[in-house]
Structure 1
Amino acid sequence: MYEEFKDMLLYTSIPYDIFVVLSDTINRFGRNYYAGWSESISAQNQLLLTLMTLTLNCKDLDLAQRFDVSRATVSNIFNTFIHVLHELLFAGTTNVSMPSQRKCKGSMPKTFESIDAVEIAQAIPHDLDKQTRVYSNYKSRHTVKAVTAVAPNGALTFATELYPGSVSDVAIVNHCHLARQFEAGDLILADKGFTIHDLLTQGVHVNIPPFLSGKSQFTPEEAKICYKVARARIHVERANERIKKFDILNHVPANYRPISPKIFQVCCALINLQAPLIKEVAENIKPKTLSADHRDHVTPEIPVNKSELKYTI
């Protein structure tokens, strides 16, 4: 990566070459803006603004000063591009269907399909009834949660919408019909909260760590099973950690709460554009250096403050 682009991961969570491809792809499609539009910054910088909001949870006023636009324009761009990115990266690719057993075996890096739940914070609702539903006793705060699934190669293949923090993992799996996507012969590794055996069709197996059930310690055989499950499930934990690194998910602002499910799912889709989670997968991918011509085609500069605003298209 060129020295001048070393901060792209910090600001956007994706490498520069992926940013260029994503920007070029978006430019091929028309956009209907959330609140009308009189163009004042380039489409590339609109994408940059959106990714900075997701990655760093920059405030609208801060971005308005950085990009020399109004606060309303920042909100208009973000609302619009979340829907664009959701349609482009999530709706047509993720949640369509689980990878087949043949595909999984072809990319099996000593692990299995795993499912888990991700819990994130958001602004406290004003409605008292909604406050009760989103309060998580486990987290001791108001949260929303979703269920994610990770394939053997570390790719995130499924992410639900957001549910109130008080809803159980099993209830989410039942409501989103995730269990229907598995076929006989599939093996699922899941956390202890996913006692979903009754929801699965015949021939689908779920492997969860054993419970102590009043015992002081596991038997040697149970401890061995725990170790094997934990070793395989570490990849889904790492995927969830990448999701949580999007600062906007630490506290979704109140003005973006209506689109918070799409915000979450876009963040999930973006981790598939990052470096592979698993070393065995990464070793099979040879990094490609952008040519000088491609580099000069789009050269984004991260605006630090109003006096340093520069955009090279």
Structure 2
Amino acid sequence: MKFYTGLQSHYDFTFVLASLGEAAYKLNYLYFRSEQLSVENQFFLTVVKLRQHKTNFELSRLFNISETAVINIWITWINFMYHQWKEINIWPERDLVRFFSPYNFRRQFPTTRIIIDGTESPIRKPRSPIAQQSTFSTYKNRNTIKILVGATPRGLVSYVSPSYGGSTSDRQICERSRLMTKCDHGDSIMADKGFNVQDLFAPYDVSINIPTFFVKKNK
């Protein structure tokens, strides 16, 4: 279970599935209703593909279904999980963040609310020239989507921005994310040297902390 899904046990697997509610058993599928696999196995297939990045062909062999059925399940479940889980508020209160921060971190950076960084994921080259231009990343030298991800000092992912084209700068994503309105007065955000956004957060009494071990780090 841990190898294929990243979840510790079958109990955790069923708990996560249950968090999706009864709607998981009444899905409107992309192409056709999937009768070949149980709901549990459909969810298992989806999580395995997320964790292992297996091809549709390999999954079709593992689950003894067609590649079309794999695509039907995958796209249906990904959209379903997005709409269900986006309602969950993953932003923890400041007191909880500080309470669970590692001791040395809390002693050196006591006001840190979140540690942010940008990440890029490659995508297929879009057909539209405008979409090609907006998603092309000079850093990766290919078409990508870019996302701002934040975690607490303890390592809990507490913020995920909407996705933007690879040509979007980190500053533009920070500006559109409204992350500054989530923080409380006196909080600080830890980031690397690429985030020159102090002016965006200063009016909200939120500071940007770029430690020296980030500043000196090579590209």
TM tier, smaller: 0.7 to 0.9
Who is 1:146 aligned against?
A: 147
How much does 1:180 deviate? Answer: 1.8
Pick from 204, 210, 218: which aligns with 1:208? 210
- The alignment's C-alpha RMSD in Å is 2.1
Deviation per residue, 1:39-63 (Å, 9 max, x gap): 1211111011111211222222322
Closer/same/farther in 2, CA of residues 141 and 38 from structure 1, 3 Å limit: closer
Equivalent residue for 2:38? 42
Structure 2, gaps ≥5 residues long = 107-111
Task: Identify which of 83, 86, 90 aligns with 1:87.
Answer: 83
1:79 CA drift (Å): 1.4
Match of residue 64, structure 1, among 52, 60, 72: 60
> Equivalent residue for 1:105?
98
Structure holding more strand per residue: 2
CA deviation vs aligned residue, 1:203-230 (integer Å, no higher than 9, x gap): 2111124xxxxxxxxxxxxxxxx13x68
Q: Deviations over 1:278-305 (max 9, x none)?
A: xxxxxxxxxxxxxxxxxxxxxxxxxxxx
How many pairs are equivalent? Answer: 203
Report 1 or 2 for greater relative contact order, CA contacts < 8 Å, sequence distance ≥ 6. 1
Question: Are 1:165 and 2:166 counterparts?
Answer: yes
Give me the TM-score of the superposition, normalised by structure 2.
0.83
Query: CA, structure 1 residues 135+160, in 2 after alignment: closer, same or farther (shift >3 Å)?
Result: same
Q: What is the alpha-carbon distance in structure 1 between the residues aligned to residue 47 and residue 199 of structure 2?
A: 40
CA, structure 1 residues 76+176, in 2 after alignment: closer, same or farther (shift >3 Å)?
same
Amino acid in structure 1 at the alignment position of 2:144: T
- Identity of matched residues, %: 29
Verify the 8 A CA contact 2:20 2:85 in the aligned structure 1. no
For residues 213-249 of structure 1, what are the alpha-carbon distances to aligned partners after superposition, in whole Å with 9 as ceiling and x for unaligned?
Answer: xxxxxxxxxxxxx13x68xxxxxxxxxxxxxxxxxxx
> What 5-or-longer segments of structure 1 have no aligned partner?
1-7, 210-225, 231-313
Q: CA deviation at 1:64?
A: 2.0
TM-score, normalised via structure 1 length: 0.59
1-structure distance, mates of 2:129, 2:83: 33
The corresponding residue for 2:71 is 75
Answer with 161-170 or 77-86: which moved more: 77-86
Q: How does 1:264-303 map to 2 (within 5 A)?
A: none
Does structure 2 retain, via aligned residues, the 8 Å contact 1:32–1:80? yes
The Cα shift of 1:121 comes to 0.9
Deviations along 1:48-87, whole A, 9 cap, x unmatched?
Answer: 1111211222222322222122222211211121123223
CA distance in 2, matches of 1:129, 1:38: 36
